[in-house]
Homo-oligomer: A and B are copies of this chain.
Amino acid sequence: MFAPRPLALSILGRCPWRCCRRKHSAAAVPLSVREALVAKVDEGAKDVKIQGWVRSVRSQKEVLFLHVNDGSSLESLQIVAEPGLKNSAVSFGSSVEVCGVLVKSPGKKQSAELKAKEIRVIGDCDSQDFPFKIKERHPPEYVRQHPHLRCRTNTFASLLRVRSAATLAIQQFFQSNGYVHIHTPIITSNDCEGAGELFQVEAANRDQKGDGGFFGVPAFLTVSGQLHLEIMSGGFQKAFTFGPTFRAENSQGRRHLAEFYMVEAEISFTESLEDIMQVMENLFKDTTAAILSKCPEDMNFFFKYVSTGQQGSLEKMIKNNFIVMSYTEALEILTRATTSFQHKTEWGCDLQKEHEKYLVKHCGNIPVFVTDYPYDLKPFYARDNEDGPQRTVAAVDLLVPGIGELFGGSLREERLHFLQSRLDRLGLSDTYQWYLDLRRFGSVPHGGFGMGFERYLQCVVGVDNIKDTIPFPRFPYSCLL
């Protein structure tokens, strides 16, 4: 693999970033802010070049202080300069290149600071027109109205770094555990799961449409990669996908997006829901541990400024074994509750948000697996437990504090005759001949799960609105840029 950028400040001539063929002046080595902040300055002063955006300007009689950020870390680099280097264009939001000497900072807040020899403004920024103001904390609703500038705020830049680290951590979790990554299709002719909340896709230009449309059949955006991933369960013992999914749901809520990301996995040769639950728990804990270790500053920023109490809540989730209870047990708990619920709590009813909240609280705010749901509540592919005539299926949801349902999973019905008769009753046998084929040719017991990635981020950083966990949120009446 490509080695991480070396921090060697002493390489002469050749760019130490290894990112370019240019010979930078040996006197001024370009460094990212993150690199500058951790550079060893004890060994003597270093001539470096920093490029970034001005986050603060403080002009005193004798000295000029700047803070410059380039997105490589939450923290900015402090620049110390003679007032003579000040230029009226050096303002909040402008981009600058600063050459100077990296020295040990006398201040306690940072270990290194840059004594500037030269400050060059690359792109100015009219503070009147710029929608974000220096040292102001703008509410998320306001920031969202400027999607093309949103990454210039601390909170959203931190979110994006955490999201990026989580994306890599999820890939590494699965691949290091022997899972094959599959790009399940985005456009699909499979319109089912009975969802109804589908987006349809067609060529915009008439010239591209033939008879019956571009694809010759109605085509939709995927609502889940599961069925396509199950195909892979016939050849790979472990497979996963991590990509966008879509719901044309008329909801403006804090928990819903029209375009969101799902992490889905399928495991073959598994007859136990516990196998699936263990992978879910490991995925949650290992990904969270990776984020905490990779982005400690960003996470602390969320804990301190965005969601107080979140740190303790998250530590509790990580330290404890998740709780397991059956749907039937959950219903008993709800029935015994002194709280009065808006929705009924009879065996057979779906769990509502209020029920989920109660159950999580009842479990001391530790995530709780609810298993073995009524047959009629779950889709056709869930495996019949045979504990009565079509009574329960081997399905599981993971409920977490603040969010409710974060994962959903099940064993899949691998027995041809069970699946065939259920599809017959639903009138779906013709549509799903290919799915039945998977049970005709070397069928294996298997199961899997899906996790909503944005809900996961909400759960981890404690952001209230799911729209603040994704770079470009899409929801009814909104598709900015």
Interface residues of A in 79-133 (CB under 8 A from B): 93-95, 97, 122-126, 129-130
Q: With an 8 A cutoff between CB atoms, is A221 at the interface?
A: yes
Q: With an 8 A cutoff between CB atoms, is A231 at the interface?
A: yes
A259 cross-chain contacts in B, Cβ below 8 A: 185-187
Q: With an 8 A cutoff between CB atoms, is A70 at the interface?
A: yes
**Contact (Cβ within 8 A) B183 A204:** no
Closest to A167 in B: B181
Q: With an 8 A cutoff between CB atoms, is A169 at the interface?
A: yes
Please measure, in the bound complex, the distance between the C-alpha atom of A125 and the C-alpha atom of B234, giving whole angstroms: 12
**Contact (Cβ within 8 A) A215 B476:** yes
Q: With an 8 A cutoff between CB atoms, is A390 at the interface?
A: no
Indicate whether A275 sits within 8 Å of B438 (C-beta atoms), given known contacts A152-B235, A164-B180, A175-B164. no
Please measure, in the bound complex, the distance between the C-alpha atom of A34 and the C-alpha atom of B180, giving whole angstroms: 13
Q: With an 8 A cutoff between CB atoms, is A465 at the interface?
A: no
Q: With an 8 A cutoff between CB atoms, is A471 at the interface?
A: yes
**Interface locus among A246-254, A310-318, A336-344, A355-363:** A246-254
A258 cross-chain contacts in B, Cβ below 8 A: 187, 214-215
Q: With an 8 A cutoff between CB atoms, is A178 at the interface?
A: yes
Q: Which of B52, B72, B208 is within 8 Å of A249, CB to CB?
A: B208
**Interface locus among A19-27, A345-353, A380-388:** A19-27
**Contact (Cβ within 8 A) B157 A236:** yes
Interface residues of A in 242-265 (CB under 8 A from B): 243-244, 246, 248-250, 258-259, 261
**Interface locus among A192-200, A325-333, A420-428:** A192-200
**Interface locus among A39-47, A396-404, A441-449:** A441-449
A340 CB to nearest B CB, Å: 32
**Contact (Cβ within 8 A) A228 B175:** no
**Contact (Cβ within 8 A) A173 B272:** no
**Contact (Cβ within 8 A) A204 B215:** no
**Contact (Cβ within 8 A) B205 A442:** no
- Among A3, A123, A220, chain B packs the most CB atoms within 10 A around the CB of A123
**Contact (Cβ within 8 A) B175 A126:** no
Indicate whether A477 sits within 8 Å of B210 (C-beta atoms), given known contacts A200-B202, A235-B151, A272-B22. yes
Indicate whether A217 sits within 8 Å of B470 (C-beta atoms), given known contacts A279-B19, A442-B53. no
A231 cross-chain contacts in B, Cβ below 8 A: 147-149, 151, 481
Known: A2-B282, A126-B441, A198-B203. 4 other contacts (CB 8 A): A122-B445, A167-B171, A187-B259, A200-B202
30 CB-based A-B contacts, threshold 8 Å: A4-B177, A19-B282, A20-B270, A32-B237, A53-B234, A70-B269, A95-B442, A122-B269, A122-B444, A123-B414, A130-B441, A147-B231, A148-B234, A148-B437, A157-B235, A157-B236, A167-B183, A168-B172, A184-B472, A197-B203, A199-B204, A200-B203, A208-B250, A215-B474, A216-B476, A216-B477, A219-B479, A228-B472, A231-B481, A434-B481
